């Protein structure tokens, strides 16, 4: 089962990256498929927890640099078929059947998709509709690399905490934070693709999500959100003279962080009330 988990993790990210590469109606289909694959990932994880099998979120590097979308889709299809062949190892046959059916449908759709030229790796570092100064372009580039990894990291951390918690109150908060990080990751990844600097986030170290002191993690998380707000504010100021659209977007992200801080503060209060803090 551990192999199925790892391969599902990898193909989920491959599908997400393919969505960033697309310029057509393929994009939303690929994003929808990546969401389904993430759900597969969480269901397999739950099965491993139920059966007591140890696991982590380690994975192999994921090569994605292609010039045609068709090449990426062929790679994804092959990896989906590899997972399909390994489903016999799942004890939950209903789950195995669901994943098998999804894979069958997705590979058929991928096979019929129209090909596209991929520009997500051209390194031009130009954002459509914005004439950025070198300083603003450099600031935006650094921000996108840093924050896309951070959002992926948060998805994995909150998902791990949620998978190992039976507290419905906390799990609601964790799920909101997962959903918010997905929105940010998709937004930043799409921007990276438009600028020709798309990259897969690096692997998250297990020490970051296998957390013993959740209270301290939440306290640190609040400080990180405050720092992220400041980075968004700085970036909004840096690009404001060149693109009001970008400035407004980063102010929008900045304001969203306020609610994340409120949620983590709420989680801390809940831990204290339950005698865990």
89: pLDDT strictly greater than 60: yes
In this prediction, residue 203 carries a pLDDT of 97
Q: How far is CA 153 from CA 28, 96, 165, 184, in A?
A: 23, 27, 18, 12
Tell me which residue has tokens 């894979």.
103
Q: What is the three-state SS of 103-142?
A: HHHHHHHHHHCCCCECCCCCCCCCECCECCCHHHHHHHHH
Q: How many CB atoms lie within 10 A of CB 190?
A: 18
Enter the pTM of the model: 0.95
Helices and strands, counts by H and E, the chain: 9, 0
Rg, the chain, Cα only: 20
- Token pair of 208 as six digits: 């970051």
Q: How far apart are CA 197 and CA 220, in angstroms?
A: 30
242: pLDDT strictly greater than 80: no
**Arithmetic mean of pLDDT, 35-50:** 97
Q: How far apart are CA 257 and CA 265, in angstroms?
A: 12
E strands present in the chain: none
Lowest average pLDDT, out of 29-43, 140-154, 240-254, goes to: 240-254
Helix, strand, coil percentages (3-state) for the chain, rounded to 5, are 75, 0, 25
Greatest mean pLDDT range, 41-50, 126-135, 242-251: 41-50
**Arithmetic mean of pLDDT, 156-180:** 96
Q: State pLDDT tens for residues 175-212.
A: 999 999 999 999 999 999 999 999 999 999 999 999 98
How many residues are given for the chain? 277
């Amino acid at each position: 089962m551990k192999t199925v988990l790892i391969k599902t993790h990898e193909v989920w990210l491959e599908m997400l990256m393919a969505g960033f590469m697309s310029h057509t109606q393929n994009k939303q289909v690929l994003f929808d498929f990546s969401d389904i694959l993430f759900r597969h990932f969480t269901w397999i994880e739950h099965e491993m927890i139920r059966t007591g099998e140890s696991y982590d979120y380690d994975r192999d590097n994921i090569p994605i640099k292609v010039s045609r979308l068709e090449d990426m889709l062929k790679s994804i299809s092959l990896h989906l078929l590899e997972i399909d062949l390994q489903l016999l190892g799942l004890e939950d046959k209903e789950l195995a059947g669901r994943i098998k059916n999804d894979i069958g449908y997705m590979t058929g759709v991928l096979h019929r998709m129209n090909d596209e030229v991929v520009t997500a790796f051209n390194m031009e570092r130009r954002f459509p509709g914005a004439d950025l100064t070198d300083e603003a372009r450099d600031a935006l580039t650094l921000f996108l690399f840093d924050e896309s990894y951070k959002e992926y990291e948060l998805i994995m951390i909150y998902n791990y905490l949620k998978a190992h918690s039976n507290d419905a109150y906390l799990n609601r908060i964790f799920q909101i934070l997962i959903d918010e990080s997905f929105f940010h990751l998709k937004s930043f990844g799409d921007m990276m693709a438009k600028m020709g600097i798309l990259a897969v986030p690096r692997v998250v170290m297990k020490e970051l999500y296998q957390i013993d002191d959740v209270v301290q993690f939440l306290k640190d998380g609040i400080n990180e959100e405050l720092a992220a707000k400041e980075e968004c504010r700085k970036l909004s100021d840096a690009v404001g003279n060149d693109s009001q659209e970008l400035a407004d977007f980063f102010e929008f992200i900045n304001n969203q962080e306020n609610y994340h801080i409120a949620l983590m503060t709420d989680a801390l209060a809940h831990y204290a009330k339950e005698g865990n803090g």
